[in-house]
A and B are shown apart, each in its own frame.
Chain A
Amino acid sequence: MSIVSVTHLEAGYEDTPVLRDVSMTAEEGAITAVLGTSGCGKSTLLKNIIRLNDAWSGSVRMFDEEVMVMDEPEFNQLLKRVGVLFQNGALLNSITIAENVAIPLEQHTRLPAPVRDHLIRIKLALVELEEAIDKLPSELSGGMRKRAALARAMALDPDLLFCDEPSAGLDPVTAAGLDNLICRLRDQLGMSVIVITHHVPSIIRTADKIVYLSDGGVLFSGTVKEARSSGIEQIERFFREGVKDY
Chain B
Amino acid sequence: MRRVSHPVCRFADSTVSVDAPLTKDTVPGIYAEIDGHRSVWEDTALTLDLSAVTRIDSAGVALIETLRSRVNERGGSLTITGGSKDVLALIETFTVTRDGKRQPRPKRRFFEGMGEQLYTFWQHLGAFFILVADTAFYSVQGMFTRSGMRKGEFTKQCIFIGMNALPIVGLISFLIGFILALQSAAQLRQFGASIYVADLVAISMTREMGPIMTAIALAGRSGSAFASEIANMVVTEETDALKTMGLNPIQYIVVPKMYAITVTTPMLTILSMLIGIFGSLVIGVTYLDLSVGPFMDQVANALILRDVIIGLAKSVIFAWIIITVGAYFGFTVSGGAEGVGRATTASVVTSIFMVILADSILGLIFYFGGGAF
Report A's interface with B, CB cutoff 8 A.
93-94, 109-112, 114-119, 121-123, 125-126, 130-131, 133-134, 136-138, 156-157, 184, 188-189
Which range holds the interface residue count of chain B? 35 or more
Of the 9-residue stretches B40-48, B61-69, B181-189, B250-258, which lies at the interface with chain A?
B61-69
CA of A29 to CA of B335 in the docked complex: distance in angstroms?
39
**Given A118-B69, A188-B90, are A111 and B104 also a contact pair (CB < 8 Å)?**
no
* Chain B 337-355 interface residues, beta-carbon cutoff 8 Å to A: 337-339
> Closest A-chain residue to B96, C-beta based?
A125
B93 touches A (CB below 8 Å): yes
Question: With A111-B62, A188-B93 given, can you name 10 additional A-B contacts, CB distance below 8 Å?
Answer: A111-B27, A111-B31, A114-B70, A118-B66, A118-B97, A119-B59, A121-B65, A122-B61, A125-B98, A133-B102
- Decide if A136 touches B335 in the complex (CB within 8 Å): yes
CA of A136 to CA of B105 in the docked complex: distance in angstroms?
12
Q: Which residues of B contact A122 (CB under 8 A)?
A: 58, 61-62, 65, 94-97
- Decide if B100 touches A130 in the complex (CB within 8 Å): yes
Q: Which residues of A contact B28 (CB under 8 A)?
A: 109-112
- Residues 17-31 of B, flagged 1 when their CB comes within 8 A of A and 0 if not, give 000000011011001
Ranked nearest first, the 6 interchain pairs of A and B with the lowest CB-CB distance are A119-B62, A138-B336, A118-B62, A125-B96, A118-B65, A110-B28
> Closest B-chain residue to A139, C-beta based?
B335
- Residues 89-129 of B, flagged 1 when their CB comes within 8 A of A and 0 if not, give 11001111110101111000000000000000000000000
CA of A112 to CA of B34 in the docked complex: distance in angstroms?
12
- Decide if B94 touches A116 in the complex (CB within 8 Å): no
Q: Which residues of A contact B337 (CB under 8 A)?
A: 93
Output the residue of B24, B69, B338 with the most chain A CB within 10 A: B24
- Decide if A157 touches B62 in the complex (CB within 8 Å): no
- Decide if B94 touches A109 in the complex (CB within 8 Å): no
B32 touches A (CB below 8 Å): yes
**Given A122-B58, A125-B96, A130-B100, are A115 and B336 also a contact pair (CB < 8 Å)?**
no
- Decide if A119 touches B58 in the complex (CB within 8 Å): yes
Within the complex, the shortest CB–CB distance from A164 to chain B, in Å, comes to 20
CA of A131 to CA of B100 in the docked complex: distance in angstroms?
9
Q: Chain A contact residues: over half helix, strand or loop, or mixed?
A: helix
Within the complex, the shortest CB–CB distance from A119 to chain B, in Å, comes to 4
Output the residue of B25, B61, B97, B337 with the most chain A CB within 10 A: B97
Report B's interface with A, CB cutoff 8 A.
24-25, 27-28, 31-32, 35, 57-59, 61-63, 65-66, 69-70, 86, 89-90, 93-98, 100, 102-105, 334-339
- Decide if A188 touches B96 in the complex (CB within 8 Å): no
CA of A130 to CA of B102 in the docked complex: distance in angstroms?
9
> Closest B-chain residue to A119, C-beta based?
B62
Within the complex, the shortest CB–CB distance from A95 to chain B, in Å, comes to 10
CA of A134 to CA of B105 in the docked complex: distance in angstroms?
8
- Decide if B338 touches A130 in the complex (CB within 8 Å): no
Within the complex, the shortest CB–CB distance from A75 to chain B, in Å, comes to 18
- Decide if B336 touches A123 in the complex (CB within 8 Å): no
- Decide if A134 touches B96 in the complex (CB within 8 Å): no
- Decide if B58 touches A115 in the complex (CB within 8 Å): no
Q: Which residues of B contact A156 (CB under 8 A)?
A: 24
Q: Chain B contact residues: over half helix, strand or loop, or mixed?
A: helix
**Given A93-B337, A118-B62, are A134 and B24 also a contact pair (CB < 8 Å)?**
no
Q: Which residues of B contact A125 (CB under 8 A)?
A: 96-98
> Closest B-chain residue to A114, C-beta based?
B66
CA of A156 to CA of B59 in the docked complex: distance in angstroms?
8
**Given A122-B96, A184-B93, are A137 and B59 also a contact pair (CB < 8 Å)?**
no
> Closest A-chain residue to B64, C-beta based?
A118
- Decide if B97 touches A188 in the complex (CB within 8 Å): no
- Decide if B58 touches A109 in the complex (CB within 8 Å): no
A112, A123, A131: the one contacting B58 at CB < 8 Å is: A123
Q: Which residues of B contact A134 (CB under 8 A)?
A: 102-105
> Closest B-chain residue to A128, C-beta based?
B96
Q: Which residues of A contact B59 (CB under 8 A)?
A: 109, 111, 115, 119, 157
Within the complex, the shortest CB–CB distance from B172 to chain A, in Å, comes to 34
B65, B94, B102, B335: the one contacting A93 at CB < 8 Å is: B335
> Closest A-chain residue to B336, C-beta based?
A138
Pairs across A and B, CB under 8 Å, 21 listed = A93-B336, A93-B337, A109-B27, A110-B28, A111-B28, A111-B62, A112-B35, A112-B66, A115-B62, A115-B66, A117-B66, A118-B69, A119-B58, A119-B61, A122-B94, A122-B97, A125-B97, A138-B338, A138-B339, A156-B24, A189-B90
CA of A117 to CA of B59 in the docked complex: distance in angstroms?
10
- Decide if B32 touches A188 in the complex (CB within 8 Å): no
- Decide if A188 touches B62 in the complex (CB within 8 Å): no
> Closest A-chain residue to B339, C-beta based?
A138
A94, A116, A133, A137: the one contacting B62 at CB < 8 Å is: A116
CA of A94 to CA of B96 in the docked complex: distance in angstroms?
28
Output the residue of B28, B69, B94, B105 with the most chain A CB within 10 A: B94
Within the complex, the shortest CB–CB distance from A67 to chain B, in Å, comes to 21
- Decide if A94 touches B58 in the complex (CB within 8 Å): no
CA of A123 to CA of B25 in the docked complex: distance in angstroms?
18
Q: Which residues of B contact A157 (CB under 8 A)?
A: 24, 57-59
CA of A133 to CA of B104 in the docked complex: distance in angstroms?
10
**Given A118-B62, A157-B58, are A112 and B24 also a contact pair (CB < 8 Å)?**
no
Within the complex, the shortest CB–CB distance from B277 to chain A, in Å, comes to 47
CA of A137 to CA of B65 in the docked complex: distance in angstroms?
26
